[in-house]
Structure 1
């Protein structure tokens, strides 16, 4: 037997689990596209399901949430390929899978976390600031001209209007109901808590989430997969490493770029800080 054939036979004996990392804020953050979007993850998702002899695909989830649209699209692509390839999907939560991060975890058939992981936050939030009093004290006149009375919805330099808040709350309810429907569809009869507990936006540790039926067990990826598929199982990361051009753009030194990246970093840090991270 030639060395190539021996090597091929060696790899055939070992089960292979593609590992797709879903880490960071969901949605585009910053000028160079930091954050998870379907566009940035599409090739990695396809690669994860292209391994024909893989008995499962593993997701490593570590996200405080972000864009509900991108969360739904990423999770939807994972489910489409899982159904098409008839591949079992197992999610492993690291520090946090909250809000959109939990939406991503629900794309899996099973969810495992650490006992101290943060899970949940099944809700919708919109946050901002009001500066109308500040600019008035500075003697600044705010001039806004619109065609369409709702075009300047929730302008931070104007007082809030009840009709604008009612419209925002209607949008939030719609997104919240879609989130709830996704969790119910994916978790089904495994959910044990009441709707008031599960869907009011609260968070749980991994141990408490297990009691609520939000996850299936406690465990880390390597140990859990070795216990299930054998000690010879190979975990193969599929996310590409950032290329030279991305690194070049990421670390440009122009003042405007640096300022925008600083704000993007603060925005991302604010999302992580909500969970003590």
Structure 2
């Protein structure tokens, strides 16, 4: 007797169904492979486009750096911007400013040079380099005058540079001066004691780690560092006196070298500036050529792109933390 509860036997797939499944499988695999190839080509073309963009920026960087507007007259006034912190690798670095100055003085159509300044100062080395170059170029080209024009701010290292010019002009509300030197940092000794953290610095040299922010101050090292700042300050003062000469009323006002700042209106009777004005008025009324041609070395597109990616973050953090040399501020 046949067992009525025996499980039914599954029917084998037809030959046509087996072929259909294999065809569908091949189709799906082909689609997946095509998607993979498309992704790989997409990545390749994106990478190629990026490399081409970098190549174009690198190729045209020199042209963009020295690009300036075309003048229509036979003579004109050269304009050079001194903007931002005066430091190496910044827009107002000595290399950029000296390059701009040399190009302006070498141009026979330039009747006068206008330094348009808006800067809080910066490195005494960079400022001194530009100061010396202005005086050298003035000696080589005595017929080409240099006029420093302070807009919002011309302080410290920026005024150091301005004092090398034949004349200085500013707006009545500009801030001028700050003839002093600073070197700031932080001290974390108390915080480390509260946290129970020990500082372990290994050096060869008695003062190699002097002014370490994680160690208590040592009177002899503080005195030594103050001497360094004083010498830098004296160099700053000597350069300003050399540039301004008898126009500077420092004998009547010794506070001129104390690090204070004055408005343009206050700075005029003190001899810090020679008159009130702006870049356009100086070009028009003092130089006699109202047309201004920009000789400023511009930051390249590649440099701007790099900075947006944060290439200079570490450097600025180091400056903020106080790991830097003397600064004219």
Across the aligned residues of Structure 1 and Structure 2, the Cα RMSD in angstroms comes to: 2.1
Q: Do the aligned partners of 2:91 and 2:299 also contact (CA within 8 Å) in 1? A: no
TM-score by length of 1: 0.83
Identify unmatched segments of 5+ residues in structure 2. 1-71, 322-328
1:217-242 CA-partner distances (Å, limit 9, x unpaired): 01111123212344x63110111333
Query: Taking structure 2 as the reference length, what is the TM-score of the superposition?
Result: 0.71
Displacement of 1:151: 0.8
Kept in 2, the 8 Å contact 1:61–1:104? The answer is no
Counterpart of 1:67 (choices 105, 123, 140) is: 123
| Pair 1:207 & 2:269 matched | no
Whether the aligned pair in 1 keeps the contact of 2:164 and 2:240 (CA below 8 Å) is: no
Give the equivalent residue in structure 2 for 1:4.
Answer: none
Taking a change above 3 Å as real, the CA distance of residues 74 and 130 of structure 1, as seen in their structure-2 partners, is same
- Please state if 1:26 is matched with 2:80: no
For 2:93 and 2:130, how far apart are their aligned partners in 1?
A: 7
Aligned residues: 249
1:85 aligned onto 2:141: yes
Is 1:221–2:279 an aligned residue pair? Answer: yes
- Unmatched 5+ stretches in structure 1: 1-9, 268-274
Bigger CA radius of gyration: 2
> Aligned runs of 1:64-213 on 2, under 5 Å?
64-86=120-142, 87-194=144-251, 196-213=254-271
CA–CA distance in 1 between the matches of 2:80 and 2:120?
17
Deviations 1:52-83 (A, max 9, x none): 13221110111101110110001111221121
Query: Does the CA contact (< 8 Å) of 1:18 and 1:51 recur in 2?
Result: no
